[in-house]
Structure 1
């Protein structure tokens, strides 16, 4: 009997939907390692990732044919080793578009309207204007990475009457993006932006993409938002840029090392909002992974096709 292992706790409705598609398979579901560890070596399909799974996936005797990641980013997986094996890898790209775009604008609005400053003042019972006077309407946003998250962010930006500049590898136009650039044109885009939003995955090409040079190219009044990956930024250069007023502020959900160290200057900076890598968190996460990605991919796989949704190109890293 063929096996499918899901290393996540999902509700009974979704378990039943999957069982209906693979009635002759053994389906093992649960986040607890004790539930799945005796089964993964025989699993043809694994959905979700957990520490220690690589030893099973890379075992020469593994029956694995398809791994469905439960996260959009796959930079934490041993992609080079996977590339030498004969199985498909699909990501959960797309499930974050709504929650992350909401977080992006929460950070932008918070910094612009000094909400973070007022929250601190509230805790101290301090009534102070804090020299607040900026607004988002009519400003220019640069979205570095116009994928599903970037496109949703661009759509929301248009509700604020913003000019939207975008960066994508292909340079192809996208709806709600007024001007599209390629990564090698980043220096042309940055000086025009009031907000620079990084939504990129971490790859060999995006590693430390933002450093001192890029921050110098930005306006002194500009805000930097990163919800992609911390390693895309040279953190020491960002700290210096924020300290010296090279840029106005930053909203950061991701960092070079997580959890963020207690010694990090980011915690104490008045022009920084820190969130603990939670921008993608949502009550609808499992539902979207299962219904929008896993089930359609499973149906395609069973019909002999390559899983079509979010198939990872090992050479690109996404």
Structure 2
């Protein structure tokens, strides 16, 4: 009987590759970058780590052998979910590898605004020494975390270290560690109104697309800051720009935008009350290490039971 084929993308280190080979004893394991791999390999692969267009063109053919895809990212909204489901392919995401770096990005933006670090950096480029400003603190302020999953829980834990009051919103409304109060989506209005910082970490679904619009920003305090480390399309960008211009909210920290990347002439680039990062909140020098550990756990379950046991995507919910 021929060996089962596994394709692993993502630039694993030699040590990480060795660990995968050891865990997949008896398998034909192929490592490589997307452009290095023959697309026809995806017709024979049973397991794929990462994503390549060849998964859709070759891996989902009627006679292909694909059974499981381990995504390299937490967000899977841009993948052909309906086609994967129709083929009966199990999809697992990389949820759980992002809490440290993404929560640190949100915290950095919050601190940047209150301590005017963004203003100081702009003044540094102009060689301008200007100590003026309305400096604040995040200590004892209220943070509203919209999307209280693993990243949200880590951010809540860090916020508590600053003495912040932590409010959370999640679909179930169930309590979670690190939060003083938890709400279901029906309580979003109350959280927006009470928070000094609103941090969006929601996945992109039909329910969350355009959730942060003119009405939502109008519910926030004029002194509040909006931070988006979730998904760009969850925000109506024109409404956000208008809210920033009119002083409806004090500022916005954006790691994701809609569209992405922003056009060169987009007004967000030049707004003094905006901090932009180019969708890098999830990046870290430990990313490959964490995804490999997650995959190895899932691989052990898959080999034993024919099914990964962590982060299996619910195609009905799109995450």
Q: TM-score range by the shorter chain?
A: over 0.9
Query: Is this contact kept in 2: 1:187–1:217, CA < 8 A?
Result: yes
- Map Cα deviations across residues 234-270 of structure 1 (whole Å, 9 max, x no partner): 0000000000000000000001122211011110000
What is the CA distance between 1:32 and its match in structure 2? 4.0
- Map Cα deviations across residues 3-50 of structure 1 (whole Å, 9 max, x no partner): 000122111111111111222111000114233423111000000002
Counterparts of 1:32-181 in structure 2, within 5 Å, are: 32-181=34-183
- 2:318 is aligned to 317
- 2:298 is aligned to 297
Query: Is this contact kept in 2: 1:5–1:36, CA < 8 A?
Result: no
Alpha-carbon distance in structure 2 between the residues aligned to 1:36 and 1:92: 25
Q: Of residues 237, 240, 261 in structure 2, which corresponds to 1:238?
A: 240
Counterparts of 1:243-262 in structure 2, within 5 Å, are: 243-262=245-264
| TM-score normalised by L of structure 2 | 0.97
CA-based RMSD of the aligned residues comes to: 1.0
Query: Is this contact kept in 2: 1:7–1:36, CA < 8 A?
Result: no
Q: Of residues 17, 20, 24 in structure 1, which corresponds to 2:22?
A: 20
Query: Is this contact kept in 2: 1:171–1:181, CA < 8 A?
Result: yes
Alpha-carbon distance in structure 2 between the residues aligned to 1:98 and 1:4: 30
For 2:87, what is the secondary structure of its paired residue? coil
| TM-score normalised by L of structure 1 | 0.97
Unmatched 5+ stretches in structure 2: none
Alpha-carbon distance in structure 2 between the residues aligned to 1:279 and 1:307: 27
- Map Cα deviations across residues 95-118 of structure 1 (whole Å, 9 max, x no partner): 110000110011000011110101
Query: Is this contact kept in 1: 2:146–2:169, CA < 8 A?
Result: yes
For 1:303, what is the secondary structure of its paired residue? helix
- 1:201 is aligned to 203
- Map Cα deviations across residues 28-86 of structure 1 (whole Å, 9 max, x no partner): 00114233423111000000002342112321111001000000000010112222121
Alpha-carbon distance in structure 1 between the residues aligned to 2:139 and 2:305: 50
What is the CA distance between 1:130 and its match in structure 2? 3.6
